[in-house]
């Protein structure tokens, strides 16, 4: 890897704690600038020290306030904090900008905190890769804890949560039945559950429901009558470390209530990861998921670059005329890719 002086300068400045260099590099990473990728290659060997915490959950649970309160508590005990707020919902920047403004009130002007909101540009795979790179930059820059917050509720959370050592799933009372149904999927990725807005009516009910769902999930995993195939698939996909019991913690983030308990649970989970060696497995999964996401994008980009721009369009038009179906088209494009790099369309 031969680095030009400009890349080395930027990487060195980031490593030395230069905040403006950090902001500049992150912007270049978001824009996928080639020199940013070189700087990332330099920074990579300096990563691996930060505790990466994912905070996710359904809309309306108050995730941003919780991340805010958590960051303040971490600062109070002297740890530096990087916050990456990922908003995969907005092709524009509306959501991300809004999130920034909410947070700025409490954390602005503290050099021990660095906040970056990211909106979606292009595919979800691309966003996951960029988020991974931004986390890597903050890790190399020496931030002790990196909070990755995802707004939305869906596959995006699951993908982005895979980048974290500890995943905090936030819930709140009174979000309605549909949200309850959705939670089943998100619960599976939780290391710590938070019931935020715990001063609202129905909070105890939410806590009870979550505990029951955790209990059910545990029974399913350890072999019940239902979902044997689904469980087998889940077991195959990732090893189960059964010694960690997911705690349910009640918070009122806007009043900073329950935040110390949450912090203690985070500490316990980080210790658990190290003691059991699970941290190695998580890191491995994280790297694999990231690598596959990048490969998908890079392979497609290469295929499209290798053939004349009209080749793809011709295929699309043939599908539209019902002469060709998409599956056969993909097979043809791939075979074409092997036999001739020019493409036959």
Pick the binder of a copy of itself from 3, 73, 98, 144 (CB under 8 A). Answer: 98
Separation between Cα atoms, residue 195 and residue 73, nearest integer Å: 18
The interface mask with a copy of itself, positions 124-163, x = CB under 8 A, is: xx-x-x--xx--x--------------xxxxxxxxx----
Is 93 one of the binding residues for a copy of itself (CB under 8 A)? Answer: yes
Judge residue 183's burial from the number of C-beta atoms within 10 Å of its C-beta, 0-12 exposed, 13-18 middle, 19 or more buried.
Answer: buried
Rule CB under 8 A: say whether 329 interacts with a copy of itself. Answer: yes
Maximum distance among all Cα pairs of the chain, rounded to whole angstroms:
66
Is residue 72 a contact point for a copy of itself (CB under 8 A)?
Answer: no
Instruction: Out of 208, 271, 298, 340, point to the residue binding a copy of itself (CB under 8 A).
Output: 298
In 3D space, the residue among 124, 118, 47, 66 whose CA is nearest the CA of residue 263 turns out to be 66
For residue 215, what are its two tokens? 């209990």
Q: Which one, 268 or 318, has the nearer CB to a copy of itself? A: 318
Which one of residues 6, 19, 76, 94 is an interface residue with a copy of itself (CB under 8 A)? Answer: 94
Q: Tell whether residue 182 is a contact of a copy of itself (CB under 8 A).
A: yes
CB of 50 to a copy of itself, least distance (A): 13
| Span 206-265, contacts to a copy of itself by CB under 8 A | 220, 227, 230, 234
Could you tell me the smallest distance in angstroms from the CB atom of residue 57 to a copy of itself?
A: 10
Closest separation in Å from C-beta 232 to a copy of itself: 12
For a copy of itself, the closer CB: 264 or 298: 298
CA nearest neighbour of 90 among 128, 133, 124: 124
Given candidates 68, 80, 117, 120, which one binds a copy of itself under the rule CB under 8 A?
120
Is position 12 an interface residue for a copy of itself (rule: CB under 8 A)?
Answer: no
DSSP string spanning 91-116? SSSHHHHHHHHHHHHHHTT-TTEEEE
Single out the residue of 31, 29, 37 nearest to residue 1, CA to CA: 37
State yes or no: residue 108 binds a copy of itself (CB under 8 A): no
- Considering only 17-25, 202-210, 256-264, 324-332, which stretch makes contact with a copy of itself by CB under 8 A? 324-332
Between 326-339 and 309-320, two packed helices, what is the crossing angle to 10 degrees? 150
* One of 79, 144, 303, 314 touching a copy of itself (CB under 8 A): 303
Is the backbone of residue 210 left (phi > 0), alpha (psi -120 to 50) or beta?
A: alpha
Nearest CA to 145 out of 30, 52, 64, 270 is that of 52
Q: Based on the shown chain and the rule CB under 8 A, indicate whether residue 33 belongs to the binding site for a copy of itself.
A: no
CB atoms within 10 A of CB 210: 21
């Amino acid at each position: 890897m031969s680095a030009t002086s400009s890349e080395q300068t930027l990487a060195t400045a980031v490593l030395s704690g230069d905040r403006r260099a950090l902001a500049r590099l992150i912007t270049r990473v978001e824009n996928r600038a080639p020199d940013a990728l070189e700087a990332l290659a330099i920074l990579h060997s300096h990563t691996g020290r930060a505790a990466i915490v994912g905070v996710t959950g359904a809309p309306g649970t108050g995730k941003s306030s919780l991340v805010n309160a958590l960051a303040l508590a971490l600062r109070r005990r002297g740890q530096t904090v990087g916050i990456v707020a990922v908003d995969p919902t907005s092709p524009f920047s509306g959501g991300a900008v809004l999130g920034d403004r909410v947070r700025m009130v409490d954390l602005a002007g503290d050099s021990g905190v660095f906040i970056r909101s990211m909106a979606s540009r292009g595919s979800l795979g691309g966003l996951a890769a960029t988020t991974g790179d931004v986390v890597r930059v903050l890790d190399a820059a020496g931030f002790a804890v990196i909070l990755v917050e995802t707004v939305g509720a869906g596959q995006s959370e699951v993908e982005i949560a895979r980048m974290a050592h500890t995943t905090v799933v936030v819930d709140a009372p009174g979000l309605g039945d549909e949200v309850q149904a959705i939670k089943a999927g998100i619960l599976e990725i939780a290391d710590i559950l938070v019931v935020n807005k715990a001063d609202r009516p129905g909070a105890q009910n939410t806590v009870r429901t979550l505990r029951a769902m955790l209990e059910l999930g545990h029974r399913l995993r350890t072999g019940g009558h239902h979902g044997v195939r689904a469980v087998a698939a889940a077991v195959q996909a990732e090893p189960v470390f059964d010694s960690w019991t997911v705690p349910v913690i009640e918070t009122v983030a806007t009043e900073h209530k329950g935040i110390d308990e949450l912090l203690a649970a985070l500490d316990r989970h980080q210790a658990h990861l190290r003691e059991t060696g699970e941290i190695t497995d998580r890191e491995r999964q994280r790297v694999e998921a990231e690598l596959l996401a990048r490969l998908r994008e890079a392979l497609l980009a290469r295929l499209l670059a290798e053939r004349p721009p009209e080749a793809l369009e011709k295929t699309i038009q043939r599908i539209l005329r019902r002469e060709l179906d998409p599956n056969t088209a993909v097979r043809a494009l791939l075979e074409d890719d092997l036999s001739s790099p020019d493409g036959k369309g």
